[in-house]
Chains A and B, each alone.
Chain A
Amino acid sequence: MTGIDILFYILMGLAAGAALAILFSKNVFKSALYLLVTLLALAGLYVLGYAEFVAVAQILVYAGGILVIILFGIMLTSKISGHALAVGHRHIASGAAVGLGLFFLLARYVKPSSDPNNLVPENTGDIGLTLFSEYSLPFEIAGLLLLIALVGAAVVTAHLKPKA
């Protein structure tokens, strides 16, 4: 049991525990903060798994971008009285049945770990080369998708006056 193993188990517990906390929390704002904990713990796991670039992208994009957008959404859609921040539950039995059933179904097919090889990829440089050679078309399409999403979000939220 080395220090890395201990860190690995701590981060896994943190990610799973914060996910469960979202499930049981009744407050939207707190749930968003629990999601932040999950995302940061996952970024730590990615670093331990030699995926530094994905880890940094996870922190920048998820923790820095999506979380801020979600907090904006919470602020803009909750009434000032504070009552609307509380969230009720519905279909609890069927939801729990679907979640537990799917989890046990998936867990049945997990094979015990074979030893991964110990080749450490030269991460960021290789990702850049692969992205701009083998994956250049998906990369461009992803850029187009982001542009379309931004323009679409601006158009959907804008106050458009109907033409007379």
Chain B
Amino acid sequence: MLRTDLLVYLGAFLFCTGLTIAIIKRNVIMVLLGIELMLNGSNVNLIAFNQQHGEALHGHIFALFVIIVAVSEAAIGLAIILRVYRYYQSSVPDQISDLKD
């Protein structure tokens, strides 16, 4: 059996790293990578706490649904990124500011 507290620390670490990546990177694909990392951090938590409950598998199933939603998010996100890139010829979020001006 794995140590739950270490896994929870790992989940928190992955989540915070993903958040920082999404904030500081100047490329929309890197922002998408950060979001994937955050989703994985939450999945680590679900698996870790499922260990405390032995035979129940609700954590595993929740993790599977998280993976499904992550797939949908990646597909739609990249479609939008391609569309925006074709229109602005840029994948830097700071240069896509038509709504701000």
Residues of A within 8 A of B (CB): 8, 12, 15-16, 19-20, 22-23, 28, 31-32, 35, 38-39, 42, 45-46, 48-51, 53-54, 57-58, 61-62, 65-66, 69-70, 72-74, 76-78, 84, 87-92, 94-96, 98-100, 102-103, 106-107, 110-121, 123, 126-127, 130-131, 135, 138, 142, 145-146, 148-150, 152-154, 156-157
Contact indicator B60/A127 (Cβ below 8 Å): yes
Q: Is the CB of B19 within 8 A of A107?
A: no
B14 and A149: CB pair below 8 A?
Answer: no
- Most A-side CB within 10 Å, residue of B14, B57, B67, B83: B57
Contacts of A65 in B (CB 8 A): 71, 74
A-contacting residues, B1-54, CB 8 Å: 1-10, 12-21, 23-27, 29-30, 32-34, 36-37, 40, 43-44, 47-48, 50-52, 54
Tier of interface size on chain B:
35 or more
- Going nearest first, the 3 A-B pairs with the smallest beta carbon separation are A119-B54, A99-B20, A149-B72
Contact B7 A42 (CB under 8 A): no
Chain A neighbourhood of B7, CB < 8 A: 12, 45, 49
Q: What chain A residues lie within 8 Å of B47 (beta carbons)?
A: 45-46, 49, 51, 54
Contact indicator B4/A152 (Cβ below 8 Å) = no
When A87-B30, A110-B9 are in contact, do A70 and B74 touch as well, CB less than 8 Å? Answer: yes
